[in-house]
Every structure is written in C-alpha cells, then in structure tokens.
Amino acid sequence: MGKRGPAPTPTATAKKRGTYRPDRRKAEPQPTGEAKKPAWVKGAAAKHWKALAPWLAELDLLTALDTVALGLLCDAMADYLEAGAVINEKAADGNKFVSVTDKGNEIQNPLVGVRNKAWDRVVKLLREFGMTPSARAGLAISNAKDGEQDPLLKLMKDRMN
C-alpha cells in the first residue's frame, strides 16, 4: 500500500514559511550537482528542456537528481504535441476524433487516447515541479529573508503560546 496523505513539505520550504520543527523532521537528502540534459532527451523534448531547465534552476528546483523527472516531463510534452499535430492533420478528412475500421465501424481515433495519456503524464510531472497554480499554492513561501520569520507567523505563534 502506498503512503497516505499529502506529500511532506521539504525542509527548506518549511524553514522559509516559519513552520520548521526539528522534532517532526527526518534527515532529508540534499542533492547537489549540475542538472545536465540526459542523452535520451532529443528532438522536440530537447527544446522543452532548453525552455524549462533554466526556470527551474533559477528557482533552485532542479538538481542532478531531478534530470530524469524533467526529461520525462519534456518527453511527455513532446508526445502530447506530436499526437495533437497528427490529429489536426486528419481534420482535413472530416472528423479528426473518429477513425473508420476496415469493416466500416467508426471508433475513436487511437491518437486521441495517446494524446490524453500524454496529457495526464504532463500534468502529473508539472505538479511535481510546482508548475501549476495549485501546486504553487501548496509551495507558497513567505518573503522573509533566510533565517528570518514572517512577522505575521511570529505574532500568531506568540499568541498561541
């Protein structure tokens, strides 16, 4: 059985929010190293890598350990866009979402399923990197400088004690 409940908040995020409690934390690995594009990320996926990697690196969300996940995201984005392009090419023939079998039966174009699965992969991986509005809301941090606590959080904690 998988883990239940929400994913744990990274220690760095908890410290910035002012909610860090050492008694509730386990040692967390702190990966280092430059994130280099894997050799298998090619073609359209490489273009997505070139666009996304600098943004994530600037936000300190990309390390050497994250290269596979970002590569999979870029690959899924390329698959989604390619399937959509092929479906749209078929639009000149009529209904782009329907294919006709050799027996004359109408079925859903198989590329629609391919595109939809790629979309699911893209959305799941975007969430992992905090690249959707709801994912960013879950990662929201205060504007306090490192080591400082948000004054509002401090006031609230002082009133609770």
75 vs 89, higher pLDDT: 75
Task: Give me 157's structure tokens.
Answer: 């904690």
State the total domains in the chain: 1
User: Do 153 and 19 contact (CB within 8 A), yes or no?
Assistant: yes
Residue-wise pLDDT for 102-154, tens only, equals 898 888 888 899 999 999 999 999 888 878 877 776 665 545 455 565 565 56
pLDDT at 108: 85
C-alpha angle 38-135-127 in degrees, rounded to nearest 5: 30
pLDDT at 14: 76
Query: Do the domain assignments include residue 114?
Result: yes
pLDDT at 80: 95
Query: Do the domain assignments include residue 71?
Result: yes
d(CA 22, CA 17): 14
Query: Do the domain assignments include residue 24?
Result: no
Query: Do the domain assignments include residue 112?
Result: yes
Residue-wise pLDDT for 33-72, tens only, equals 788 999 999 999 999 999 999 988 887 788 888 899 999 9
d(CA 130, CA 13): 12
Query: Do the domain assignments include residue 33?
Result: no
Query: Do the domain assignments include residue 141?
Result: yes
pLDDT at 87: 86
Query: Do the domain assignments include residue 5?
Result: no
Query: Do the domain assignments include residue 127?
Result: yes
Domain that holds residue 52: 11-19+39-149
pLDDT at 53: 92
